[in-house]
Chains A and B, each alone.
Chain A
Amino acid sequence: MKSVWQRLRRLLCLAAVTLSATAAEDFLDEVQDFLSFSARDTQWRGRLSGALDLEGYRVQLPAPGVLGTKDGSLLESRLTVFLDAQLGSQVYLFAQARADHGFDPGEGPGQLRLDEVAVRYAPWGRNQPTVQVGRFATAVGNWANRHDSWTNPFITAPLPYELLTGIWDTDAVRSSTALLQWAHIRPGLPAAQTALEKSLRVPIVWGPSYADGVSLFGGAGRVNYVFEGKLGSLSSRPEAWQRGREQLTHPTLSARVTFRPNQMWQLGLSASTGSYLREFAARGIPAGYGRGDYRQEVLAHDLAFAWHHWQVWAEAYASRFTIPRLGDADVFAYYTEVKYKFTPQLSGAVRWNQQLYGTIPDRGSRTRWGQEVWRVDVAPGYRFSPHTQLKLQYGLQHGDSGRRDTTRTLATQFTVRF
């Protein structure tokens, strides 16, 4: 473990010194220009850009959220390449390809994925109804549009986007005892399933939820709207995004409305409904029910504020997982992030997260079906140049599990943007 951190420290120092030089800034500007191209008298334009992320994590086991490490230490590298292309004034195309060890930081084998590819058609121009088809981030909430490593002041996602609930998407819940075991409220989960549970449990929203789908959006005055139909519920995992055909018969419908009274404020309201079970989970569904009866229903409210060197974001998610013959499993999560730029290069951010659970019928009474958690994250960041930045994050998480109530996470991320 020590050698991993020494290696990471050396790499970060070397990269920071090398890439913060003015010459490197000019070079990366030239790379950006070189990766831009145009045709048809600049009416068709394209640009490749990207980011190289080097991350290190040191966590107390079991690793929190969607992090995948067995020994509490993890070194992750990720190359992301974006394509943005504008074809005239009506057609816009974008794509995101990533090379890493899995969508979430982990110890899996290297892989190359196309996380996003979509085309947008705006026949009537600005603010008018626009249609988008492909694989893209959900419009629900306000985190997805600022989740990339350069923009996001933190390294990990807020709690609603990464804290795993007791709900599995791989099997239908058949009793309150099963759900309470899956959620670690009641002992008795077989050891084999405990080892695999990160590949079984789902959060309220899995990251930016890059599922396949179609969306219609536009604006009227200070109000913008989005309607979205996707092949994957908000809680669906990255493996499911790549297998959208599984959900063809059970698409997820979402909508979002935002109101921007002025440049400082933005208020958003989102709603979503769709089946959270994977196709192969259908075999465990009781007779008389179908996957469509296992729904995730979400209502979310979000707020964003910015003024001078302050930025504030907040979101609240109320999610209901419907379980036939058992009832509704409700979970509520919220967070508030505040970022302040102390100098042109130094910034700091603080985030407060909390996730709370409702109760389910259990042996003649009602039992809370999840471990309530709060977490505070502190993240200083430093930009060496317009193309390089270093972030640190310290997270303190407290759960009411009774095993180990408080866990700490230390993370660092160095990003080169080109």
Chain B
Amino acid sequence: MRVMMRIGAEWRRATRVAVTGLLLSATAVAATIEGRVVLPKARSAPVVNQRYEIVTKAGVLSTNPPVAIVYVEGEFPRPQVQPVTQIRQKDLTFIPSLLPVQVGTKVEFPNFDDTYHNIFSFSPAKRFDLGRYRSDEKPVPSQIFDEAGLVTLRCDIHEHMRALILVLATPHFVITDAAGGFKLAGLPAGRFTVKAWVDSKTIREQLVDLPPGDATLRVDFP
């Protein structure tokens, strides 16, 4: 339950970050899109392989309810100040397990467990291996995600650990809540494609015309 609340807090934080960015970048207008994405069924929670572990760790893991990322596609200028965010490793889980970032964002990977992790990615959008590092190691190991695409994070030590970073060219994105609801505010006027990223094989899209001014548009992704 605590982990569920933590994940909820992550969504709210990510949403706040995205919305703050939107508010800062929207100079003249602040249109809003809200709606709902139909989400897939939750996948089974993973089992930690403890075959050769002397000490039992993380006997019960949180479930990660599926969520989607809704974003406005387009070429937008990179932020003047490099955004920095985090994916934490806590209780042998990546938190959050899905993170949208704008191209150029620096993501830090602090380790809050008392055991090693070894984060790596073989994804074409970002290939790296952080190696094993202590939880008190400074600076916190990080990577800059400078190419749009989907990056799958894994741990070389704990095979059940997996997380996704969706690197987007746009600053206009938001994570849905567990019911699929979303609200994307601070948008400029114009004709855009709004996309809902559901999983690595499912991206839904709709063409929208955002009028100038303080309008709110309803967009659902069935």
Contact = CB atoms under 8 A, between A and B. Distances in A.
Contacts of B121: 344
Contact of B59 (A36, A90, A341): A90
B134 A343 contact: no
Contact of A36 (B46, B55, B129, B154): B46
B45 interface: yes
B61 to A, nearest CB: 8
A263 B114 contact: yes
A26 B128 CA distance: 18
A263 B60 contact: no
B50 A92 contact: yes
B27 interface: no
B191 interface: no
Contact of A84 (B49, B129, B134): B49
B47 interface: yes
Interface in B121-169: 121-122, 124, 127-129, 131-135, 152, 154, 159-160, 162
B14 to A, nearest CB: 23
Contacts of A84: 47-51
B54 A139 contact: yes
Contact of A122 (B45, B56, B115, B131): B56
Contacts of B48: 84, 86
B59 A42 contact: no
B129 A343 contact: yes
A385 B51 contact: no
A262 B116 CA distance: 10
B52 A137 contact: yes
A89 B129 contact: no
A45 B162 CA distance: 17
A371 B184 CA distance: 75
Given A42-B63, A86-B60, A22 B124 contact: yes
A127 B55 contact: yes
A116 interface: yes
A15 B30 CA distance: 53
A193 interface: no
B7 to A, nearest CB: 14
Contact of A344 (B59, B115, B129): B129
Interface stretch (A172-180, A275-283, A301-309, A398-406): A301-309
A86 B59 contact: yes
Contacts of A345: 122, 127
Given A36-B47, A86-B60, A90-B59, A263 B122 contact: no
A46 B47 contact: yes
B63 A264 contact: no
Given A92-B56, A224-B54, A386-B154, A86 B47 contact: yes
B47 A306 contact: no
A82 B50 CA distance: 12
B202 interface: no
Contacts of B134: 262-264
Contacts of B57: 126
Interface string A223-236: 01110000000000
B2 interface: no
Interface in A17-76: 22, 25-26, 29, 33, 36-38, 42-43, 45-47, 49
Interface residues of A, number: 60
Interface in B40-94: 43-57, 59-60, 63
Contacts of A385: 122
A308 B56 contact: no
Given A126-B56, A344-B120, A344-B122, A38 B128 contact: no
A130 B59 CA distance: 13
Contact of A88 (B47, B49, B60): B60
Given A38-B45, A126-B56, A309-B129, A116 B51 contact: yes
A175 B46 CA distance: 57
A349 to B, nearest CB: 14
A402 to B, nearest CB: 40
A125 B58 CA distance: 10
Contact of A308 (B44, B132, B135, B201): B132
Interface in A272-311: 306-309, 311
Given A45-B46, A47-B47, A308 B59 contact: no
A19 B28 CA distance: 51
B135 A263 contact: yes
B131 A144 contact: no
Contacts of A218: 54-55
A145 B52 CA distance: 5
Contacts of B43: 33, 36
B168 to A, nearest CB: 19
Contact of B44 (A42, A125, A137, A307): A42
Nearest to A130: B56
A418 to B, nearest CB: 11
A344 B151 CA distance: 14
A266 B52 CA distance: 15
Given A226-B54, A344-B128, A417-B159, 9 more contacts: A45-B45, A47-B160, A122-B56, A136-B51, A139-B54, A217-B54, A224-B54, A341-B131, A386-B122
Q: Which 7 A-B pairs have the closest CB atoms?
A: A145-B52, A344-B129, A308-B131, A89-B59, A36-B44, A38-B44, A309-B131
13 contacts: A36-B44, A36-B45, A36-B47, A49-B159, A86-B59, A89-B59, A89-B60, A130-B56, A263-B134, A264-B134, A308-B132, A309-B129, A344-B127
